[in-house]
Structure 1
Amino acid sequence: MATRMAQVPLQNCEICENKVGRRYCIDCEQYFCKTCEDFHLKSKSCRDHVFQDLGQINPEEKKVKCKEHNENMTYYCTTCSMLVCNICLPNRHTKHDFTLASEAAFKFKTDLEPHIEQMKTVVRSIGQQRTTLEGKTNQFINSNERLVKAIKQKGSELKDIVDKIVYGKVANVKTEEQVNLQKKIEEERILKNAQERAEMVLSKVTNAVQNQGDTMLLNSHQSLQQAMQSMSDIAQSDLEFPTLTFEDGSLDETTLTEMIGNVMISKTKIGDIQTACKKKDLDGRYLTNRIVVRGFSEKTTESGLEYYFDNKRKSGVEGVTDVKMNRDEDFCVIYFENAKGITRI
């Protein structure tokens, strides 16, 4: 700022027009020589005017006028945190702490500068989180593609009835993938909004420090403070994709379902159980009469699951005939009615 102000060309005194105007009256917005300044300050109506050296002012800066007195806001009341003119100061801000607007602006800039690097760090952190999220997404999709290929490879060895099971297994994977990709889309939206908000705050503060004039900066003092405080609410991404695996089955006609294998979801929640239970083929009927779910918490019991599935209104699933839990191997099998007898859900 000082370098830019030092380039202000010399002006003639606008009063006598004979000498160089090295002093600038902020209230009158005129250049004065030292002699004319002394006479100016002796006038009763101008005795409170504020002068600055030529190298300290920026004549291109837009001045804020007092709406009541139409005077320049040359002072800053630190008690009230507001700009005031030379008439408001003695009338409404008696015994208040005050300083020149330029001095207050310099102090505020000094206070703002340390926060810029902190906000840049927040913006960089969000960008890194987005990159990490995208990497997880690609890895998740690639893993699922390999999983689908394995399911189809196994299904190609079977005949028409096996093909039907294959479609169900693939649909199960795709359903889980879509559920998680939908979560990713929402996570991406939150991070994108957070990054845009952080970049907006950073841009606003950087612009205030580097480009705004003193009076405009002080007018935006409170909004800038509030904007910086909002940076603490920036979102943090904690999305983790579940790991899906495929358990190979044996080619035994009597155990047709096991021939295809089971898609395993590593992060099991009630919502995951509902999704798994609702897998169905194109005509809306279950492809198999059971599914296997793993990863329950230690508090989950077989009786608790039975009670849960007994209440269709709570579980959102119908047609469950039995629930068997194997605590040692950490899985449970949910059995359904015969496929033909199950109502579309």
Structure 2
Amino acid sequence: MAQAASKTCEICVSGPGYNYCEQCDQLFCDGCKISHLRTKMTKNHTFLSGPNLNPEVKQYCKEHDENFIYYCRECSTPICKICVIKKHKSHDFAEIKESTEGIKAEVKMVIDMKMKNLQSNIADIDQGSNQYKTDVNGVIHAIREVGRTLKEMIDEKVEGLINTVKKKDTKNVQTLESVGNELKQLWIKQKSNRSSIKKHRV
């Protein structure tokens, strides 16, 4: 029998029971309500919802004014003792309590399966995150290696250019010194010649 809505969900016994299933006479939290409506056997069940819900009165068959005591598995609906005889005689049915126990087990199985899938997804995310970090570190290392190689090549090229300039500079200096010496010798020679000419004139 469902209690007042201030109680917790009667399925997972953790969330607030704000949803009352009219067929199962039980309180559900929002998560268990969704699972309940996804279950083949209870997908057509109807709910009363709200924080001030108070389903104290036992649900009954409005057609025969009798309490529901069975659950017809073929029609997915609760039935009273008169419904069994008149409309569901050859159907497969069970007591409400037995049916709700089966639903509880099925919902628990669904929740457990979803929890396992969630844990598996979390593990996959963690693994993917670790792999991503490893890949990023690998890219950074590769960039640094390329940078080091390029720096070595640039330094080598710069040193080569400097050496070439130094060699050309040395050669040019030698050429200039040679030309300068030749000019000096020529100037000295011409000066000497002028002195000789002056002496002869005298």
What range describes the TM-score normalised by the shorter chain of this pair? 0.3 to 0.5
Higher helix fraction (1 or 2): 2
Instruction: With the length of structure 1 as denominator, give the TM-score of the two structures.
Output: 0.25
Report the TM-score when normalising by structure 2: 0.40
Select the structure of larger CA radius of gyration: 2
